[in-house]
Structure 1
């Protein structure tokens, strides 16, 4: 193993530490930065020693000894404030393990060939890197998108016809395609679609109960109560048979659709008709189908929805859990409409920013829990602070968005743009927030680490 190979690994680890030291105040404040500085400087010295073995001493053993010593340092309460070890030491240890594996590779495998380097575009500025990343990673092929849409719509037609045959009296609206595939917010691959099943309920017989007024007090988990029983007894509404404890049960509706659609439809026959394999996805609380052919794989979610006044509620058991009567309030329509409205008003790049960030999160396991909803709300909030959304400001807005996300993670709260009482980060554990924060924290000084294809 050559000395050059060792230096390459040391430089990579050094970069991680440099990111930490350069940006410590941003996340931890002045006091936290001082403590982190002491810890990371100790880490850096141990890395340098571990990367330079004594004559006749094995590099692997020296690296192991260095990190054993580091574990003793990190255990000292005088050296590290509570929480630093969990956020920083674990991540640096993981980085060291990865670089140790890299150092063991032959140099010719680790380095790219000259011809491969020549094929890659030369992107000097962050603006150029973002534009290249957007075109190569976020923008989908028109042919792929159209194929996925057509498959979803063909299946939608079949399911709607089957439901009308099984339940001719069920008051359903026209099933239709919705979500990111329809609104051009899908990135990386056209591999998932959503079919919305509108449930028509009587305004005079059912009343939505805001989440704040329910026993759980969760502002995004609503209930739908049966009312006016003295004038319109049970049986007057088709949906009375899906009532539980006086409330419309999202769980009962999903279970009936699951039994009717997933378990009863003749999927082999439909697969033969559509010239692709269509089959239910088992073991999921979602109503989900898998569509497979030689060119692609597509997952289709079937989502019961109802709208009362301006409130859109969805039956999403994977979100509401074991509560039979809870409905999830969706802001997707408002979010996508507002982004389009703002971009239309100033020819802005908000949607492009969302898609770049969404692609990064999908490609990076540490950030995969950040969804399109989180990112759209970050950009909407940022739009209230920054007026310039021209194409030339893409790099500035991107870096500002990264900083904003770190700030939200630091306090553990990202409020919904359309409902201030909803915290979109409430579902994350402290460990998940730490992992996401560390990754983005490093990217403040070196955003190119997020743009690796």
Structure 2
């Protein structure tokens, strides 16, 4: 075996372990870092033993002893309490096993590295990011057009059915919205959003900011019926969805669910649009599944209220069991601001968002970081940095990682358009730790994020 090459492998992995230990306390706390230290030192001993030639008959037993040490660590109550077993052990042990297998693999003198792998290792981070963007992030024009057309065809069918079923329901034109429309979707065009505008009279309805509601959550608003002394109940079509004097997002969603999901002739619709369309059952969302010949698309249907430039959506999976809460969406403002900034300086902010979005989608530890978090991250970063040229792609990517770590440390990422909205409040402590740990691992070696785990 090539023991010199094995020693280099040991040193490289040991450097990663040392970095994890150095930064663990920031993410996991003093107690968690201590347990992580025991685990990682056991891994290092394992690799050191595997990297040495078998000097005696007890070599295999020594390697087995290291794995037993790891088993003891993974059974620690502290690990289970902090969630480190899931965050750390799975990643480190898997990496250690892979490294051990590689170190023990017989290597012939004639064996040479694969050309593609050698080429990738020689690339700069800038070049690796460009390659990742082209191969992992960007969608083909054909795929996007197909998904958009399917969504629009189904939108037309739903709009017509709602009009025939509820001709007196004041609805605006249903339309496509979200990442599929605005070119923020990555990897695969697999989801779309259809917005159903409810036309509510501004003389009869008032929006109550989330801070003024009983929950005090700045992103959860209410829609109050007003002027009842002059315009009694029944004056507005939407009065039939009142609960306690407020427009109920839950009742509206339930009516649309009954009308669309249970009443529409989906086999007939499928025949018309030339793909299989069926409701997704068992979800609080109004959601459809569209199956094409070689594709799958999920379509969410969102009732929306827009008054005084404030956009509210009925999202029961977010607002929970509160009948009268509406979720305030800043998506339109956020994407418009990002486009405006990029247009001014020919910047790559959108490119950074999409690259980060693909990275998070590919990485189990980061999958809960959505486009909403990443767009706001880049908008905040734009306040600090002025260079968004192509040449700065790698610098901005690395800086975005460090900025997100900072937000995770304080458990707060403020909405760009509403400072008192904390976009990280939805995450648990374990989820914050897991995301923070993964990003800390990528600070010194960002390439680790450019591959699926």
**TM-score normalized by structure 1?**
0.89
Q: Deviations over 1:304-331 (max 9, x none)?
A: 1110101100000000000000000000
Is the Cα contact below 8 Å between 1:22 and 1:445 reproduced in 2?
A: no
Q: Secondary structure at the match of 2:288?
A: strand
Residue 18 of structure 1: how far off its partner (Å): 2.8
CA deviations on 1:175-194 (whole Å, 9 max, x unpaired) are: 00000000000001000000
- The answer to whether the 8 Å contact 2:24/2:36 transfers is no
Q: Which moved more, 1:240-249 or 1:15-24?
A: 15-24
Greater Cα offset, 190-199 or 36-45: 36-45
Q: Secondary structure at the match of 2:169?
A: coil
Instruction: Count matched residues.
Output: 440
Q: Is the 8 A contact 1:50 1:66 kept in 2?
A: no
Match of 1:449 in 2: 448
- Which residue, out of 59, 63, 67, partners 1:64? 67
Contact 1:14–1:44 under 8 Å retained in 2: no
Question: 2 CA distance for matches of 1:36 and 1:269?
Answer: 57
Q: Which residue of 1 aligns with 2:283?
A: 284
Matches within 5 A, 1:75-94: 86=82, 91-94=87-90
Q: Where in structure 2 are there 5+ consecutive unaligned residues? A: 51-55
Bigger Cα displacement from structure 2, 306-315 vs 4-13: 4-13
Q: From the superposition, tell whether residues 307 and 69 of structure 1 become closer, same or farther in structure 2 (CA, over 3 Å).
A: closer
Q: CA offset at residue 240 of structure 1? A: 0.3
Aligned to 1:354: 353
Aligned 1:340-379 pairs, distance under 5 A = 340-379=339-378
How far, CA to CA, are the matches of 1:231 and 1:351 in structure 2?
A: 49
Question: Structure 1: which 5+ residue stretches go unaligned?
Answer: 76-81
Q: 1:204 maps to which residue?
A: 203
> Is the 1:13–1:95 contact (alpha carbons within 8 Å) kept by the matching residues of 2?
no
CA offset digits 1:332-360 (Å, max 9, x no partner): 00000000000011111110010000000
RMSD of the alignment, in Å?
3.1
Classify the secondary structure of the residue corresponding to 1:58.
helix
Structure 2: how far apart are the matches of 1:190 and 1:292? 12
Aligned mate of 1:99, from 80, 90, 95: 95
Residues 246-271 of structure 1: per-residue CA shift (max 9 Å, x gap): 10000000000000011111001111
SS at match of 1:225: strand
The alpha-carbon distance between structure 1 residues 101 and 249, as it changes in their structure 2 partners (threshold 3 A), is same
SS at match of 2:419: strand
Q: Is the 8 A contact 2:27 2:437 kept in 1?
A: no
8 Å contact kept, 2:35–2:79: no
Q: CA deviation at 1:69?
A: 6.2
What corresponds to 2:219 in structure 1? Answer: 220
Of the structure 1 ranges 39-48 and 221-230, higher mean CA displacement relative to structure 2 is found in 39-48
Question: Structure 1 residues 46, 308: closer, same or farther in 2, change over 3 A?
Answer: same
Q: TM-score, normalised by structure 2?
A: 0.89
CA contact (8 A) 1:314 1:328 kept: yes
For the pair 1:125 / 2:124, whether they are aligned, the reply is yes
Does the Cα contact within 8 Å between 2:412 and 2:425 map onto a contact in 1? yes
Mapped partners of 1:101, 1:310: distance in 2: 55
Could you say if the C-alpha distance between residues 71 and 301 of structure 1 is closer, same or farther in structure 2, counting changes exceeding 3 Å? closer
Indicate the SS of the match to 2:420: strand
Out of 49, 54, 57, the position equivalent to 1:55 is 57
Offset, 1:12:
6.9
Cα distance in 1, alignment partners of residues 169 and 337 from structure 2: 33
CA distance in 1, matches of 2:118, 2:139: 21
* Alpha-carbon distance in structure 2 between the residues aligned to 1:85 and 1:257: 43
1:311 and 2:313 are equivalent in the alignment: no
CA distance in 2, matches of 1:48, 1:379: 37
Shift of 1:391: 1.0
> What residue in structure 2 maps to residue 17 of structure 1?
17
CA deviations on 1:196-249 (whole Å, 9 max, x unpaired) are 000000001010000000000000000000010010000000000011111000
Change in Cα spacing, 1:294 to 1:244, as seen in structure 2 (3 Å) is: same
- Partner in structure 1 of residue 53 of structure 2: none
Displacement after TM superposition at 1:394 (Å): 0.9
Structure 1 residues 41 and 154 mapped into 2: Cα distance closer, same or farther (>3 Å)? closer
Q: Take 1:305 and 1:413, find their aligned partners in 2: how far apart are those partners?
A: 27
Are 2:247 and 1:248 equivalent residues in the alignment? yes
The CA deviation at 1:46 is: 2.7
**Larger deviation: 388-397 or 369-378?**
388-397
Residue 78 of structure 1: aligned partner:
none
Superposed displacement of residue 38, structure 1? 7.0
Q: Following TM superposition, by how much is the alpha carbon of 1:159 offset from its aligned partner in structure 2, in angstroms?
A: 0.2
